[in-house]
Amino acid sequence: MKLQSTIALGIAAVVLSVGASIAGPDLTDPKLKPYINGKYYSGYVINDPTTREMQDDDFQNPAFLWVEQAEEEWNKVDGEAQKSCASCHNDPESLKGASTTYPKVDGDKLITVEHRINQCRTQRMKAKAWKWESDAMLGTSALVRMQSRGMPVNVKVDGEAELHFEQGKEFYHQRRGQLDLACIHCHVQNNGNMVRSELLSHGMPNGFPTYRLKWQKLGSLHRRFRGCNKNIRAQPYKQGSPEYTSLELYVMRRAAGLPVESPSVRK
């Protein structure tokens, strides 16, 4: 057991040492100021100029293929109740500011925007729930969140949310997998360094759902969590699981004050 742990630590050290630290972004650039809050900055800051331009222009941003589909879905009647999203919310603009407070406690559960969407579908529309990574879910999540673009993340971690926040914090700091790594080893201790061809960021979630050039499609934050777990040879949890939902609350709290960017573009 001790030998396995030593080997894992050695592998981890090699992984994190691949690639030298490169020149960081110019944090004095006025164009980047909105994406910086104190010592933290979003992934937009470490994007190359081409990727930033792609995100900034809604006509170039490939995520809007999903958003446009969601705009059509918004008015589509579905389910036994014969309702659509518009039946309750009218235009998507009515949800301005709503996504900045998620995840939040609802009843006895911590829920994300995606949970809320499926709650509306199953309870109010009497329609089938969408799969977490389906095009319909990703597009609608992005549509809802983009109503708050530019507004600061403002999740609450007091009251009943405090326990979930502490669970997310524990997850973030816990070593796991064959590489014996925790989230902090990449996003706290090594941000600004290279892992293979990827520049490590602060791991901020304010742009999700995001279009990753690596994925060539829109993807959720929980997909990113699963990818990170797989990279360190750890058993991933399901999208929407209590573990990932608590982790989302913790990283959203880390991102407090940063602007909502969804749908963002990342490498």
Q: Which residues are catalytic?
A: 228
Stated as kind and residue range, the H or E segment containing 110 is: strand 109-111
The CA distance from 183 to 257, in Å, is 21
Q: Is 101 exposed, middle or buried (0-12, 13-18, 19+ CB in 10 A)?
A: middle
Which residue's structure tokens are 């006895």? 108
Report whether 26 contacts 32 (CB < 8 A): yes
> Which amino acid makes up residue 221?
L
DSSP 8-state class, residue 9: H
> Which amino acid makes up residue 211?
Y
Report whether 213 contacts 62 (CB < 8 A): no
Structure tokens at 165: 């926040």
* Beta carbons within 10 angstroms of residue 107's beta carbon: 7
The CA distance from 92 to 96, in Å, is 8
